[in-house]
Amino acid sequence: SNALVWLRRDLRADDHAALYYALRQHQHVSVAFVFDTDILNRLTDKQDRRVEFIWESVRALKAVLQQAGGDVLVRYGCAAEEIPRLAVQLHASDVYANRDYEPVAIARDAQVAELLASTGKTLHLFKDQVLFEQDEVLTQAGKPYGVFTPYKNAHLAKLNAFYLRAYPVKKYFASLARCAPEPMPALESMGFSRTNLHEMRLPVGLAGAQQLFNDFLQRIDEYHEARNFPAVKGVSYLSVHLRFGTISIRQLARAAFQLMKTGNAGAATWLSELIWRDFYFQIVYHRPDLQQGSAYKADYNQLPFANNADWFAAWCEGRTGFPIVDAAMRQLNQTGYMHNRLRMVVASFLVKDLLIDWRWGERYFAERLIDFDFAANNGGWQWAASTGCDAQPYFRIFNPQSQSEKFDPQGKFIRKYVPELMALDNKAIHAPWQLKGDRLFAPKVGDYPLPLVDHARQRALALSLYKNNVNQK
Nearer to ligand FAD, 172 or 305 (CB): 305
Give me the least distance between CB of 22 and ligand FAD, in Å please: 26
Give me the least distance between CB of 289 and ligand FAD, in Å please: 19
Report the alpha-carbon distance of residue 93 to residue 383 in Å, rounded.
Answer: 44
Q: Among 1-9, 18-26, 229-237, 303-311, which window interacts with ligand FAD (CB under 6 A)?
A: 229-237
Q: Among 80-88, 142-150, 173-181, 373-381, which window interacts with ligand FAD (CB under 6 A)?
A: 373-381
Q: What does residue 435 show for φ and ψ, rounded to 5 degrees?
A: -90, -5
- Residues shown for the chain: 473
Report the alpha-carbon distance of residue 392 to residue 442 in Å, rounded.
Answer: 38
238 belongs to the binding site for ligand FAD (CB under 6 A): yes
Give me the least distance between CB of 383 and ligand FAD, in Å please: 6
Q: Among 153-161, 176-184, 253-261, 366-374, which window interacts with ligand FAD (CB under 6 A)?
A: 366-374
Report the alpha-carbon distance of residue 438 to residue 453 in Å, rounded.
Answer: 20
Report the alpha-carbon distance of residue 322 to residue 346 in Å, rounded.
Answer: 10
Residue 115: CB partners within 8 Å, gap ≥ 6? Answer: 80, 81, 84
Amino acid in the structure at residue 397: I
Q: Among 298-306, 318-326, 379-387, 456-464, which window interacts with ligand FAD (CB under 6 A)?
A: 379-387
380 belongs to the binding site for ligand FAD (CB under 6 A): yes
Pick one of 376, 389, 452, 462: the residue that binds ligand FAD (CB under 6 A): 376
Q: What is the CA radius of gyration of the chain?
A: 24
Give me the least distance between CB of 468 and ligand FAD, in Å please: 25
Q: What does residue 76 show for φ and ψ, rounded to 5 degrees?
A: -125, 120
Closest residue to ligand FAD, based on beta-carbon distance: 380
Pick one of 98, 373, 389, 431: the residue that binds ligand FAD (CB under 6 A): 373
How many C-beta atoms surround the C-beta of residue 444 within 10 A?
Answer: 17
Give me the least distance between CB of 379 and ligand FAD, in Å please: 6
Pick one of 347, 350, 429, 445: the residue that binds ligand FAD (CB under 6 A): 347
215 belongs to the binding site for ligand FAD (CB under 6 A): no
Number of residues in contact with ligand FAD under rule CB under 6 A: 28
Q: Among 29-37, 116-124, 301-309, 363-371, which window interacts with ligand FAD (CB under 6 A)?
A: 363-371
354 belongs to the binding site for ligand FAD (CB under 6 A): no
282 belongs to the binding site for ligand FAD (CB under 6 A): no
Nearer to ligand FAD, 108 or 339 (CB): 339
148 belongs to the binding site for ligand FAD (CB under 6 A): no
The answer for 74, left when phi > 0, alpha when psi is -120 to 50, beta otherwise, is: beta
The helix or strand, by DSSP H or E, that contains position 4, with its residue range, turns out to be strand 2-7
Report the alpha-carbon distance of residue 205 to residue 219 in Å, rounded.
Answer: 22
Q: What does residue 244 show for φ and ψ, rounded to 5 degrees?
A: -105, 5
CB-neighbour burial class of residue 125 (10 A; exposed 0-12, middle 13-18, buried 19+): middle
SS3 assignment, position 53: helix
Nearer to ligand FAD, 21 or 322 (CB): 322
Pick one of 35, 296, 381, 417: the residue that binds ligand FAD (CB under 6 A): 381
Pick one of 14, 38, 222, 273: the residue that binds ligand FAD (CB under 6 A): 273
Nearer to ligand FAD, 172 or 466 (CB): 466
325 belongs to the binding site for ligand FAD (CB under 6 A): no
SS3 assignment, position 97: strand
Which x/- pattern over 382-411 shows residues binding ligand FAD (rule: CB under 6 A)?
Answer: --x---------------------------
Give me the least distance between CB of 342 and ligand FAD, in Å please: 9
Residue 220, beta-bridge partner list: none
C-beta of residue 224 within 8 angstroms of C-beta of residue 265: yes
**Per DSSP, which regions of 92-212 are E strands?**
94-98, 122-126
Helices (H), 237-320: 239-244, 249-261, 265-286, 309-317
Nearer to ligand FAD, 111 or 334 (CB): 334
C-beta of residue 100 within 8 angstroms of C-beta of residue 8: yes
Nearer to ligand FAD, 208 or 380 (CB): 380
355-387 residues labelled b (16+ CB within 10 A) or e (exposed): bbbbbbbbebbeebbbbbbbbbbbbbbbbbbbb
280 belongs to the binding site for ligand FAD (CB under 6 A): yes
Chain centroid, CA 393 distance in Å: 24
Nearer to ligand FAD, 205 or 380 (CB): 380
Pick one of 3, 92, 274, 351: the residue that binds ligand FAD (CB under 6 A): 274
Strand order across the 28-36 sheet: 72-77, 28-36, 2-7, 94-98, 122-126
Q: What is the DSSP letter of 163?
A: H
Residues that bind ligand FAD (CB under 6 A): 227, 235-239, 242-243, 273-274, 276-277, 280, 340, 343-344, 347, 365, 369, 371-373, 376-377, 379-381, 384
